[in-house]
Amino acid sequence: MILVAYEPGHWESASEAVKQEYFAAHHAFEEYVDAHGRRISSAPLAGADTATTIRHVDGAATVTDGPFVESVEQVGGYYDIELPDLDSAIAAGCLLPSSYAVELRPAVTIEGYESM
Protein backbone atom coordinates (compact mmCIF):
# COMPACT_ATOMS: atom_id res chain seq x y z
CA MET A 1 0.00 0.00 0.00
CA ILE A 2 1.32 3.42 -0.95
CA LEU A 3 -0.07 6.34 1.04
CA VAL A 4 0.55 9.76 -0.38
CA ALA A 5 0.78 12.83 1.83
CA TYR A 6 0.70 16.38 0.60
CA GLU A 7 0.52 19.86 2.02
CA PRO A 8 -3.06 21.17 1.83
CA GLY A 9 -3.72 23.91 -0.69
CA HIS A 10 -0.80 22.84 -2.90
CA TRP A 11 -2.96 21.31 -5.59
CA GLU A 12 -5.63 24.02 -5.64
CA SER A 13 -3.06 26.76 -6.15
CA ALA A 14 -1.08 24.84 -8.80
CA SER A 15 -0.88 26.24 -12.33
CA GLU A 16 -2.04 24.21 -15.34
CA ALA A 17 1.61 23.44 -16.24
CA VAL A 18 2.34 22.20 -12.74
CA LYS A 19 -0.78 20.02 -12.81
CA GLN A 20 0.44 18.47 -16.06
CA GLU A 21 3.75 17.65 -14.32
CA TYR A 22 1.80 15.90 -11.55
CA PHE A 23 -0.16 13.87 -14.10
CA ALA A 24 3.06 12.92 -15.89
CA ALA A 25 4.62 11.77 -12.60
CA HIS A 26 1.60 9.61 -11.79
CA HIS A 27 1.70 8.12 -15.28
CA ALA A 28 5.40 7.29 -14.89
CA PHE A 29 4.59 5.64 -11.55
CA GLU A 30 1.75 3.61 -13.06
CA GLU A 31 3.90 2.49 -15.99
CA TYR A 32 6.60 1.32 -13.60
CA VAL A 33 4.11 -0.63 -11.50
CA ASP A 34 2.53 -2.23 -14.58
CA ALA A 35 5.98 -3.29 -15.81
CA HIS A 36 7.13 -4.78 -12.49
CA GLY A 37 3.94 -5.88 -10.76
CA ARG A 38 0.28 -4.89 -10.82
CA ARG A 39 -2.12 -2.15 -9.74
CA ILE A 40 -5.05 -3.27 -7.60
CA SER A 41 -6.84 -0.03 -6.79
CA SER A 42 -6.22 3.62 -6.10
CA ALA A 43 -8.00 6.87 -5.30
CA PRO A 44 -7.24 10.51 -4.66
CA LEU A 45 -8.97 11.61 -1.45
CA ALA A 46 -10.84 14.83 -0.71
CA GLY A 47 -9.10 17.23 1.69
CA ALA A 48 -8.63 16.26 5.34
CA ASP A 49 -10.93 19.17 6.29
CA THR A 50 -13.75 16.95 5.01
CA ALA A 51 -12.63 13.96 7.11
CA THR A 52 -14.71 12.44 9.89
CA THR A 53 -13.24 10.26 12.62
CA ILE A 54 -15.07 7.61 14.64
CA ARG A 55 -13.72 6.55 18.03
CA HIS A 56 -15.28 4.37 20.68
CA VAL A 57 -15.07 6.20 23.97
CA ASP A 58 -16.49 4.50 27.09
CA GLY A 59 -18.46 2.04 24.99
CA ALA A 60 -20.11 4.65 22.79
CA ALA A 61 -19.15 5.54 19.26
CA THR A 62 -18.25 9.20 19.07
CA VAL A 63 -17.98 10.99 15.80
CA THR A 64 -15.65 13.96 15.48
CA ASP A 65 -14.70 16.33 12.73
CA GLY A 66 -11.22 15.96 11.20
CA PRO A 67 -8.60 13.29 10.43
CA PHE A 68 -7.23 10.99 13.16
CA VAL A 69 -3.81 12.53 13.07
CA GLU A 70 -3.47 16.29 12.96
CA SER A 71 -0.26 17.21 11.17
CA VAL A 72 1.07 19.48 8.46
CA GLU A 73 1.07 16.61 5.99
CA GLN A 74 -2.22 14.90 5.31
CA VAL A 75 -3.04 11.68 3.52
CA GLY A 76 -4.17 12.75 0.07
CA GLY A 77 -4.58 9.46 -1.71
CA TYR A 78 -3.50 5.86 -1.97
CA TYR A 79 -2.37 3.19 -4.39
CA ASP A 80 -2.92 -0.46 -3.58
CA ILE A 81 -0.27 -2.19 -5.68
CA GLU A 82 1.71 -5.41 -5.85
CA LEU A 83 5.47 -5.30 -6.41
CA PRO A 84 8.14 -7.95 -5.81
CA ASP A 85 10.08 -6.19 -3.04
CA LEU A 86 10.67 -2.99 -1.11
CA ASP A 87 13.39 -1.81 -3.50
CA SER A 88 10.99 -1.82 -6.45
CA ALA A 89 8.32 -0.13 -4.29
CA ILE A 90 10.86 2.56 -3.40
CA ALA A 91 11.81 2.97 -7.08
CA ALA A 92 8.09 3.35 -7.94
CA GLY A 93 7.42 5.75 -5.06
CA CYS A 94 10.31 7.96 -6.16
CA LEU A 95 8.52 8.56 -9.47
CA LEU A 96 5.53 10.25 -7.77
CA PRO A 97 5.50 14.08 -7.59
CA SER A 98 8.44 15.32 -5.53
CA SER A 99 6.23 17.50 -3.30
CA TYR A 100 4.64 14.35 -1.81
CA ALA A 101 5.74 12.43 1.21
CA VAL A 102 5.15 8.79 0.29
CA GLU A 103 4.58 6.06 2.89
CA LEU A 104 5.06 2.42 1.88
CA ARG A 105 3.22 -0.15 3.98
CA PRO A 106 3.09 -3.88 3.36
CA ALA A 107 -0.39 -5.42 3.38
CA VAL A 108 -0.73 -8.62 5.39
CA THR A 109 -3.26 -11.41 5.56
CA ILE A 110 -4.93 -11.95 8.91
CA GLU A 111 -4.97 -15.63 9.72
CA GLY A 112 -8.43 -17.01 10.37
CA TYR A 113 -10.28 -14.06 8.84
CA GLU A 114 -12.36 -14.61 5.75
CA SER A 115 -13.98 -11.71 4.00
CA MET A 116 -17.74 -12.03 3.43
Partner 1 sequence: MTETAGAVLEGVVREEWGRLTSLLLAQYRRLDLVEDALGDAVEAAARRWPSSGPPDKPAAWLLTTARRRVLDRVRAESMAHRKAALLVTDASQRQEGLGAMADPGDLVEDDLLRLVLMCTHPALAPEAASALALRLVLGVSTHDIARLFLVTEPTVAARITRAKKKIVTAGIPFAVPAADVLPQRLETVAQTAYLAFTAGYAPGSGSDLLRADLAGEAIRLVRVVVALCPGEPAPVALLALMLLQHSRRDARVGDDGRLILLADQDRRRWRRDGIDEALARLTDPVLMRPVSPLAASYIVQARIAAEHATAASPEETRWDRIVGQYDLLLRLVPSPSIRLARAVAVAEASGPESGLVALDGIEIPGSHRVAAVRAELLFRYGDIAAAKAAYDDAIAVCRNDTERAHLLERQKALPRVSPP
Q: How far apart are CA 98 and CA 80, in angstroms?
A: 20
Instruction: Name the residues that contact partner 1, by CB under 8 A.
Output: 83-87, 89-91, 104, 106, 108
Query: Which residue number, 70 or 111, has a Cβ lying nearer to partner 1?
Result: 111
Radius of gyration, alpha carbons of the chain: 17
Q: What is the closest distance, in whole angstroms, from the C-beta atom of residue 90 to partner 1 in the complex?
A: 8
Q: What is the closest distance, in whole angstroms, from the C-beta atom of residue 22 to partner 1 in the complex?
A: 25
Query: Which residue number, 7 or 80, has a Cβ lying nearer to partner 1?
Result: 80
Q: How far apart are CA 28 and CA 6, in angstroms?
A: 19
Q: What is the closest distance, in whole angstroms, from the C-beta atom of residue 86 to partner 1 in the complex?
A: 5
